[in-house]
Structure 1
Amino acid sequence: MNRPNILWISTHDINPHLGAYAGVYPGAEYAVTPNLNRLAEEGMRFDNAFAAAPICAPSRSAIMTGCFPTSIGTMHMRTKAVPPPEVRLFTEYFREAGYYVTNNSFTDFQVPTPTSAFDDCSDTAHWRNRPDDSTPFFATFHGMATHESQIYLPEEEFSKRTAHVQDQDRHDPSLAPLPPYYPDTPVFRCSWARYNDLITEMDHWVGTILDQLEEDGLAGNTIVVFWSDHGLGMPRGKRWLNDSGLHEPLIIRWPDRIKAGSINTNLAHLMDLAPTMLQLCGIQIPTHVHAKPLLAADGTQIDQPNAYVYAARDRMGELEDMSRSVRDSRYRYIRHFHPDRGPMPHCDYPDHLDTWRELRILSSGEAGQRAKGLRRSLLTPLQRTLVAPAKPEEELFDLLEDPHETTNLAGQPRFDDTLARFRVAVANWQDTYGDLGLIPEDDLLEQWRPSGVWPQTAAPSAELTDSGVQARSTTEGAHVVWTADPPTSGLQRPGTPADRMGSPADAIGAPPQDGRTWKMLCEATPPPEDCEIWIKACRLGYLESEETAIPSHWPAPDALFHH
């Protein structure tokens, strides 16, 4: 079987502000994105793709597991969850199917990334490093060019970060198509123009990766997927459950399978990518996965895989909140469990960003106007909802008539039936999949790690049988990996997150790096029979096991391996 390769290219913090979405998504006509426009012309553009959360790590956890963050405990930004034992990072299924799986190199999946997740997770990870040209690959590249932090850089540094944006492609702040919920100030105009300059810079980076695929003669048999994790890095985007916080670009190209220039208007979760990729590559979709495949095995559209798409907002840094949202093809409903808390309470990191600070300054200015007995005039009523001291318990928006979600329809009698339908949809979602956000986070952590002690995966035991070598860990949900690379100084002991306190790599759950190459213990990658190997077990949310050394008396390499 000539199995397709997979190339994922992802970016941070953007809505569908790509030229390919002009006329489909508000403001997309402002963008300069020739490479992504061409990718859409050659593949399928998804017009209704949505994140499971409006912030990075929970959204990425959904994409990598195919499960709702609220169901598996990955909904708080950031955390280190202990998902149910059946939950895995879905890249492991590709490794077991014989794929060379790489990640370059961002993780942030809300769990310590296990050794079993990737063949290579580093800044140099690339399909070009696979064992031989016949090995199918799943290569992921995560770009940081559009992250919210880049919008607000000092001028000189911003120019360096957007060095590939030609002068004629720079976005004019005076032409910035600001949504009505933003005040029309130089700060917001400049930030919107910079946001689009960063998208153009990112588009150049995408082009370099696609060029490499062409140079290697691999484009014809590679499924290319482009996506972002959640909305733009400005107020009412990232961290909000509005469409501006959740609506994402999604483009998939598969030559000769997916019709060039096709448009998919079905509702899609980004996490649907997990079962979609498995299905396209002929790998069985696990029964525990919540997500739905968006395409049939031959690349054709599956009609209406989702009646609704769901999303959640929970703790984000020190910003404590809980809201749930559901959307159909027309309406978005949002239920706020803490309506007494404002939508934009203090949060140290974003409060240092220019657009957040600008809103606070204008709100403070309006307080000064009131102090003088004057009417407020610096913000519109819509803009004031962003900095209000509270928020409505429910919100309902008609996206067809009101794409910027300016008018809350909840409470209008003619929408009572629609509101009731969405209330039931949220309740059914929570009942069907569970909602761990209803449990106080400290109590949840205590359930996972009593007295703060991290559970450790039991070291695997191995034995020779008539059918081959068996290696198992007694920890439910554990999977065994092996290496023929000897440890540098005795058997390696697993460290705890406390050992690396303050490490950025630990904050985003980067996998352990010991300079050795670890493979899945499975039929696709059996160990050599003529040398000593080392094995260990991995379980999502647990510390990895201690290593076990196995002497060089393995059976023939075509024996079956079980774990």
Structure 2
Amino acid sequence: MSLKKQWLFNWFLVLTMVVGSLAAALPVFGQSQTAGDVPNILIFVADDAGWRDFGIYGNEVIQTPNVDRLAADGLQFEQAFLTTAQCSPSRISILTGLYPHATGAEDLHMPLPEGTRILPDYLAERGYFTGHMKKTHYGPHADAQFDWYSEKLSDEFPSFLEQAGEKQFFLWVGFSDPHRPYGKAPVRHRPGEVKVPPYLVDSPETRADIAQYYDEISRMDDQIGLFIEELERRDQLGNTLIIFLSDNGSPFPRAKGTVYDEGVRTPLIFHWPEQIEAGSRYEGLTSVIDLTPTLLDLVNYPAPDTMQGQSILDVLSDQTLPGREYVYSERNWHDTDEHIRSLRTERFKLIQNAYVELPHGTPADIGGSPSFRSLIAHKKEGTLNKAQSQLFEAPRPRIELYDLKQDPWELNNVAAGSAHWQRARELAQQLNDWRERTGDFPPYLRVRDDHTDRATGVWFSREIPPMRNLRKSHQY
């Protein structure tokens, strides 16, 4: 071999080795991870936190430095949505990768059915030590699928880590903030500076209510900071995937318990310093039903065919990938009975209401709030504007359609307008196809009586009514 050919051969060999080494060092999320690659997994779940109510999501008043840090140093999802706006059905949906109507636990306080597996049970097969903290709200059959539990928060985190030992850990932290009733959180926000949405009355009572809500979110943020500090102290932050989200929207009228964006849109943040580039943002439509399939993909565990979510693992390294064309949400019994289904695209939201003869049901914890009492007082005085009156309207429209580009607060129903009736028809068909494809039940099949007055938001019974099967009196 000539010297020139020998030189070219050696150069090619070195180049091949260098490129191969670089490729091996880069994260490839679309490929299975080996046991040494998989991270610890820490999931923070806020209890009734609206997506708008964090600094990183545009609220310049609220104090959330630790959540903001996770987003700034990780991946922030801009359009993430929940499958429902109710605490226990939402958590069960996230952990099963199923829509609420497919879990058998679609109503508030319904436990996970026996025999249904959730995320920690799968992760245990991959060697994870699993735990959960504080609020669970998914029943004994779910609780039994964790190795460890504590009613406390960051104070018990070191103990959990010690028990995990050399194993990778999975920890689900269910905060009770900012759920009502509000506790004695440090006062940090003044009523005069909070943001009042257009569907609430801008009264002193409402502003004080929102300021307390902000304080509760800041208290939760303080706790998140303590978890982060402990991971840093142990040099475990780099190989811990931290995920932050909320179980439903803010605890105010026309938010929590609805399928409007204020009820089902969630902050969603992935933070993993060793693998996710800081400052990443993803604009595609995302559903949290994909969270469990994604984490199973991460640890090379094949997701069961019955799961209705899909892995979005590749998005962690490539934010140019397209999102979902549609995201779906639903509302079932939560103090009052409902059968509401919704479909959202990047621009439009379509909602189907079954019980149109009744005004929208308000969860009891919201019905007793100063914000709701202020609405009631102004309703009696006849001083509510159109946006504030919609909560009490009856009959309700069977179909609602909102142009989110023109109407981000979803206050102007354009379903019947000549410009959008064809779009409403097409989206309604897409929604019906999804209902059939995912095994949704018709409105009359699984019914519970109200135990809260729809007009006043006051409990008239604390007992959870039994489920009944009625004749076909309601249909879309």
Do Structure 1 and Structure 2 share a fold, with TM-score over 0.5? yes
1:45 paired residue among 47, 70, 76: 76
The equivalences for 1:138-287 within 5 A come to 138-150=170-182, 158=183, 161-163=184-186, 170-287=188-305
**Number of the residue aligned with 1:314:** 332
Residue of structure 2 aligned with 1:432, choices 431, 434, 437: 437
Structure 1 stretch 173-182 or stretch 433-442: which is displaced more?
Answer: 433-442
Q: After TM superposition, list the pairs within 5 Å mapping 1:336-351 onto structure 2.
A: 336-344=353-361, 348-351=364-367
| 1:296 matched to 2:314 | yes
* SS of corresponding position for 1:29: coil
DSSP-derived class of the 1:103 partner? strand
Q: Render the CA deviation track for 1:347-402: whole Å, top value 9, x for unaligned.
A: 64432222222212221222xxxxxxxxxxx1101111112233211111122221
Does structure 1 retain, via aligned residues, the 8 Å contact 2:297–2:303?
yes
Shift in alpha-carbon separation, 1:349–1:221, aligned structure 2, 3 A: closer
Deviation of the 1:286 alpha carbon: 1.7
8 Å contact from structure 2 (residues 129, 164) kept in 1: no
**Which of the numbers 103, 122, 125 marks the counterpart of 2:132?**
103
Q: SS at 1:113's partner residue? A: helix
Q: In structure 2, how many angstroms separate the alpha carbons of the residues matched to 1:179 and 1:264?
A: 26
Any idea what the Cα deviations from partners look like across 1:25-63, whole Å, max 9, x if unmatched? xxx222211111111110000111111111111111101
Query: 1:140/1:82 Cα in 2 relative to 1: closer, same or farther (>3 Å)?
Result: closer
Deviations 1:75-123 (A, max 9, x none): 111223537x5x41121000111100000132212x4334641001222
Moved more, 422-431 or 132-141: 132-141
* DSSP 3-state at the match of 1:37: helix
Question: Is the CA contact (8 Å cut-off) linking 2:326 and 2:343 kept in structure 1?
Answer: yes
1:422 counterpart (411, 424, 427): 427
- For 2:171, the aligned partner's letter is A
Tell me the CA shift for residue 418 of structure 1.
1.6
Q: Does structure 1 residue 72 correspond to structure 2 residue 103?
A: yes
**Does the 8 Å CA contact 1:49/1:249 hold for their aligned counterparts?**
yes
SS in 2 for 1:385: helix
- Mapped contact 2:359–2:392 kept (Cα < 8 A): yes
SS at match of 2:420: helix
Say if 1:75 and 1:312, in contact at 8 Å, map to a contact too: no
Check whether the contact 1:231–1:237 (CA below 8 A) recurs between aligned residues: yes
Matches within 5 A, 1:368-447: 378-436=383-441, 438-441=443-446
Measured in 2, the distance between the counterparts of 1:208 and 1:503 equals 38
- 2:84 is paired with a residue whose SS is coil
Q: Distance in 2 between matches of 1:292 and 1:267?
A: 13
Structure 1 distance, partners of 2:440, 2:49, is 27
How many angstroms does 1:297 deviate by? Answer: 8.9
CA shift, 1:296, in A, is: 2.3
Q: Match for residue 90 of structure 1?
A: 119
Aligned-partner SS, 2:300: coil
Instruction: Please give the TM-score of this superposition, normalised by the length of structure 1.
Output: 0.69
In structure 2, relative to structure 1, the CA distance for the partners of 1:145 and 1:253 (3 Å cut) is same
C-alpha distance 380-29 of structure 1, shift in aligned 2 (>3 A):
same
Residue 288 of structure 1 aligns with an amino acid whose one-letter code is T
On the 8 A contact 2:158/2:230 being kept in 1, the answer is: no
8 A Cα contact 1:127 1:137, kept in partner = no
Q: CA deviation at 1:330?
A: 1.1
- Report how many aligned residue pairs link the two structures: 411
| Residue range with higher mean Cα deviation, 279-288 or 136-145 | 279-288
Post-superposition Cα deviations, 1:514-561, rounded to whole Å, max 9, x if no partner, equal xxxxxxxxxxxxxxxxxxxxxxxxxxxxxxxxxxxxxxxxxxxxxxxx
Structure 1 counterpart of 2:102, which letter? S
Aligned match of 2:43: 8
Q: Which residue of 2 aligns with 1:119?
A: 147
Tell me the alpha carbon deviations over residues 492-525 of structure 1, each in whole angstroms, 9 at most, x when there is no partner.
xxxxxxxxxx999xxxxxxxxxxxxxxxxxxxxx
Q: Contact conserved, 1:334 with 1:394, CA < 8 A, in 2?
A: yes
- CA 1:97 to 1:365, structure 2 compared with 1: closer, same or farther past 3 Å? same
Deviation at 1:233, TM superposition (A): 0.2
Gaps of 5+ in 1: 23-27, 151-157, 367-377, 444-501, 505-563
CA distance in 2 between partners of 1:313 and 1:201 (Å): 29
CA distance in 2, matches of 1:326, 1:203: 31
Structure 1 residues 134, 233: CA separation in 2 closer, same or farther (over 3 Å shift)? same
Asked whether the 8 Å contact 1:281–1:297 carries over to 2, the reply is no
* 3-state SS in 2 of match to 1:324: strand
Which of 329, 332, 347 matches 2:349? 332
| Residues 164-192 of structure 1: per-residue CA shift (max 9 Å, x gap) | x5xxxx22222222111111111111112
Contact 1:5-1:222 at 8 Å conserved across structures: yes
**Which aligned pairs between 1:531-550 and structure 2 lie closer than 5 A?**
none
Q: Does 1:20 align with 2:38?
A: no
Query: Are 1:29 and 2:60 an aligned pair?
Result: yes
1:354 and 2:383 are equivalent in the alignment: no
3-state SS of the aligned residue for 1:266? strand
Cα distance in 2 for partners of 1:423, 1:184 equals 35
Contact conserved, 1:148 with 1:232, CA < 8 A, in 2?
no
Gaps of 5+ in 2: 1-34, 449-461, 465-476
How far apart are the structure 2 equivalents of 1:241 and 1:226?
A: 21
Bigger drift between 49-58 and 388-397 goes to 388-397
Give the drift of 1:437: 5.2
CA distance in 2, matches of 1:416, 1:285: 39
Alignment-mate amino acid for residue 355 of structure 2: H
CA distances 1:217-238 after superposition (whole Å, capped 9, x unpaired): 1001110001111100000111
Structure 1 contact 148–234 (Cα < 8 Å) conserved: no
8 Å Cα contact 1:73/1:81 also seen in 2? yes
Counterpart AA for 2:357: D
Conserved? CA contact 1:359–1:387, under 8 Å: no
Helix, strand or coil for the counterpart of 1:342? coil
Aligned match for 2:379, one of 363, 372, 375 = 363
User: Hey, what's the Cα distance between the residues in 1 that align with 2:310 and 2:414?
Assistant: 30
Please give the secondary structure, in 1, of the residue aligned with 2:106.
coil
Instruction: State the SS of the aligned residue for 1:441.
Output: coil
From 78, 89, 96, the equivalent of 1:58 is: 89
Q: For 1:36 and 1:277, locate their aligned partners in 2 and report how far apart those are by CA, in whole Å.
A: 21
